[in-house]
Amino acid sequence: MSVQLGRIRTLKEGLTHSDGKPGPVVYWMFRDQRIRDNWALIHAVHQANKSNVPVAVVFNLFDQFLGAKSRHLGFMLRGLRQLSQQLRNNLQIPFFLFRGEAEETVPKFLRECGASLLVTDFSPLREVRRCKEEIVKRVNNSITIHEVDAHNVVPLWVASDKLEYSARTLRGKINKRLSEYLIDFPTIEPPTRKWVIAEEQCIDWDELIADVLRNGADVPEINWCEPGEIAAMEVLMGSENGFLTKKLKNYSVDRNNPCKPTALSGLSPYLHFGQISSQRCALEARKLKTSHPQVCFTYASVHIDAFLEELIVRRELADNFCFYQPHYDSLQGAWEWARKTLMDHADDKREHIYSREQLEKAQTADPLWNASQLEMVYYGKMHGFMRMYWAKKILEWTRGPEEALEIAIYLNDKYQIDGRDPSGYVGCMWSICGVHDQGWRERPVFGKIRYMNYAGCKRKFNVDGYIAYVNLLVGEVRKRKAENLLSGKEKVLRR
C-alpha cells in the first residue's frame, strides 16, 4: 500500500541516474524512531520495492542536540538498539548509525551507496529544518528527497497552511480530514531486494550508551519508563496497567489532579521520541468507542474524546505553531496583544525575584512550586497541571517575560524526559506569553495573561498530598543513587 500523497513533501526532485538505473532508498530516521506504524518507513520500503532496489535506515547521533542529557540520550539509544535488532531480524533491513553532524554524514552515506532517494520524517523544529536545507544543497543532483509527516495524524501542511490562532481554529480543520487520514496502517513485509551494498555496521551499543551517559551525567536516566516501542505499546494497551485498557475511565475527571499522576496516559516520552505513533493511540482509542457502543454514550466517550483532544488537536497545534512561527520560543512569537500587555507590566514590582540557579535548585518560598520542580528534576516528568502553574510562577518571579521564557524552556528541555519538543515550547509560550489563549482580567506582572496561584491550586487538589508524594519520589531516587554509588565503590575495592 502506498502512502497518501498528502503525507509526502518533495524537498528535492532528482534527475534520472546517468546509467538509467536507480540506486537504493535510504530512510534517515530522526523523529519517528519506530518500525511499527511509521509512514516514513512504509514509504521508503514501498519506493524501494517499486524500483526493485534495496533500502536501509540510518540514524545520526548529533554531538549535541538541544542540550540532550543522559536522561534523553539513554532513553533514545536503548529504544534504537531494540529497533535496529528488530529491523534486521524481522525485515532484513540494515540500520546504520552515524555520529557527528547529519548534514555531513547523511550526504556522505548517500554518495557511498549511490542512493537515488532519501526519505526522512518530519519535525517543525528549526535545527532539523536547517539541517535538511543543508542536506538538500549538499547531495548530488540525481537524488530525490521526500519528507513524510509520520508524526501527526493529519499531516501538518494538510491540516492548515498557516499559523493557527488557537485550538478552536485548528480543531475543525483537523476533524474534517480525519476520515481520510485516521486510517489503519499496512503491515510492512521485508523488502524484495536485499541490501548488499555496504557491509552492515557492527554497533557497540553498550559502549555507545556508556559514553553518552558519562557525558550527560548531570541529568541521569529515569528508571520508571522502559524505552522502546514494545514498552510503548504496553503503556498504551497492556493488559495489566495499560492506559486504554485499565486507566482511561478516570482520564477526564482526574487528569488535572497532580495527586493522581497515573490517571494520565504517560505516553509523552514515547510520543516525543516517536517510539509510538499518535495515530496508533488514536485508532485504538477510537476502537473502544465502536467496540463498546453501549458504553460509548455514557462515561467512556467523554474520556476518549478528552484524550483525543489532547493527543491530536493540542499536540498538532503545537507542531503548527513551531512550523509557521519562526520565533516559536521567544517573546517575538507571542501575539501583539500579549507582547504589549507583558511589556506594559515588565517593570511591575515582583514580590520575589529568583535567579535561574535558585529556581533550578527549587529554592523558592513556595513549597508547591518547589515540589513540581523536584518532580521534574528527580522523576523526569512533571504532572501536566503543575507544568502550567510552574511556568506561570517563573513569569511572576523573574525580571521580565523574556527572562522567564528563557529559564522555563531551559529547565523544561534539560529535565523533562519529553522535553525539547514542540509541545514543550508551546506549553511555555502558552503559560508565559498567552499563545493560543485569550486575554484575561488585567493584573500586576501578568497583565492580561491568564493567572494561576497557590490558593487556586489548594481549591482544586490536595496540595500537601502532592508535596508529600514528590518528597517520597525524591527520597527513593536519592536512596537508589546512594546504593548505586556504594555498589560502584565496592566493585572498585574488590578489583
Q: Which amino acid is at 449?
A: I
Which cell goes with 152?
Answer: 501527526
Among 212, 391, 407, 467, binds ligand FAD (CB under 6 A): 391
Closer Cβ to ligand FAD, 34 or 255, answer by number: 255
By CB under 6 A, is residue 304 in contact with ligand FAD?
A: no
145: DSSP letter: E
By CB under 6 A, is residue 412 in contact with ligand FAD?
A: yes
By CB under 6 A, is residue 234 in contact with ligand FAD?
A: no
By CB under 6 A, is residue 401 in contact with ligand FAD?
A: no
Rounded Cα distance, 359 and 353, in Å: 10
3-state SS, residue 197: coil
Among 84, 320, 372, 416, binds ligand FAD (CB under 6 A): 416
Closer Cβ to ligand FAD, 310 or 402, answer by number: 310
Closer Cβ to ligand FAD, 419 or 447, answer by number: 419
Burial bucket for residue 271 (CB in 10 Å: 0-12, 13-18, 19+): buried
Closer Cβ to ligand FAD, 14 or 419, answer by number: 419
Contact 236, 280 (CB under 8 A): yes
Nearest 5°: the CA angle 429, 430, 432 is 65
By CB under 6 A, is residue 428 in contact with ligand FAD?
A: yes
* Residue-wise burial string across 309-333, b where 16 or more C-beta atoms lie within 10 A, e elsewhere: ebbbbbbbbbbbbbbbbeebbbbeb
Rg over CA atoms, the chain:
23
Q: How near is the Cβ of 483 to ligand FAD at its closest, in Å?
A: 28
Q: How near is the Cβ of 338 to ligand FAD at its closest, in Å?
A: 15
**Cβ count within 10 A of residue 87:** 19
Rounded Cα distance, 101 and 108, in Å: 11
Contact 341, 449 (CB under 8 A): yes
By CB under 6 A, is residue 419 in contact with ligand FAD?
A: yes
Closer Cβ to ligand FAD, 146 or 151, answer by number: 151
Q: How near is the Cβ of 379 to ligand FAD at its closest, in Å?
A: 12
55 contacts: CB under 8 Å, gap ≥ 6: 24, 25, 26, 27, 44, 45, 47, 48, 93, 191, 195
Site for ligand FAD in 431-470 (CB under 6 A): 431
Pattern 311-350, ligand FAD, x by CB under 6 A: x--xx--x--------------------------------
Q: How near is the Cβ of 274 to ligand FAD at its closest, in Å?
A: 12
Rounded Cα distance, 265 and 236, in Å: 7
By CB under 6 A, is residue 47 in contact with ligand FAD?
A: no
Rounded Cα distance, 257 and 304, in Å: 18
Closer Cβ to ligand FAD, 271 or 477, answer by number: 271
Q: How near is the Cβ of 432 to ligand FAD at its closest, in Å?
A: 8
Q: How near is the Cβ of 456 to ligand FAD at its closest, in Å?
A: 15
Rounded Cα distance, 345 and 421, in Å: 29
Closer Cβ to ligand FAD, 109 or 430, answer by number: 430
The Cα-based distances of 349 to 108, 346, 401, 452 in angstroms read 56, 9, 13, 18
By CB under 6 A, is residue 427 in contact with ligand FAD?
A: yes
Closer Cβ to ligand FAD, 28 or 273, answer by number: 273
**Cβ count within 10 A of residue 184:** 11
Site for ligand FAD in 240-279 (CB under 6 A): 255, 264-268, 271-272
Q: Which stretch binds ligand FAD (CB under 6 A): 213-221, 350-358, 369-377, 383-391?
A: 383-391
Binding site for ligand FAD (CB under 6 A): 255, 264-268, 271-272, 310-311, 314-315, 318, 384, 387-388, 391, 412, 416, 418-419, 421, 423-424, 427-428, 430-431
